[in-house]
Structure 1
Amino acid sequence: MSDMAFHPKATDTTLLRILQALADPVRLTTVRSLGLKDGVSCSVVQADAGLTIGKSTMSHHLKILREAGIISISLEGSRRLLHLRRADLDGRFPGLLDAVLTPPEGAVGTE
């Protein structure tokens, strides 16, 4: 199985791994961007979120999000589309994704 094909089972995701993945501002911004526009390419996420990081750095962040079970990546032609694993996360950790996508007003990390 190629590295791109690896998506952990929902039952294998842990809260600790998810929180560790979301602790990075770039990854948190990426997830929030996907919450607004799911099923888009990496370049769209980067542009929408205002991320100005290199391609290899973004790939590293996406790998961590994917391995944590937060996102999945599908292929459409030569494009890789990013998707939040909303159903899996809501089923395993109800309310977590909603809390991440809509942080309280004035919370750290909101601008």
Structure 2
Amino acid sequence: MPAQITTTDVRAGEYRLRISTAGDPSAEPLLFLHGSGPGVSGLSNWERLIGDLGDRYHCIAPDTLGFGDSDHPNPRRAAWPRSPNCASPRPGICWTPSASTASPSSATPTAGRCPSR
């Protein structure tokens, strides 16, 4: 039977991000990042998979900034460099808004802002 999926909102600087999770928070985490495109979100891409894997892992599927139920700043591409704060649905995971989930240019600044995590 699929695990229950819970959605919550977290703050990342001035922005609100929607995070969907399934499974026990003390279990090994799996982070699911969606791609880009019209109507994309963490749940639209991963709902069935995180439900199925939630019995063994803590599955985390965020709606990245500008997508799904997260905030949609304007202009979207300029949002992440101005937001130095980290928010996390779980200790040890650094989450910072990014313009693209598949971009090394967004991962590098994130790592630099959260070196202790």
- TM-score (normalizing by structure 1): 0.30
Is the helix fraction higher in 1 or 2?
1
Is the strand fraction higher in 1 or 2?
2
- TM-score (normalizing by structure 2): 0.30
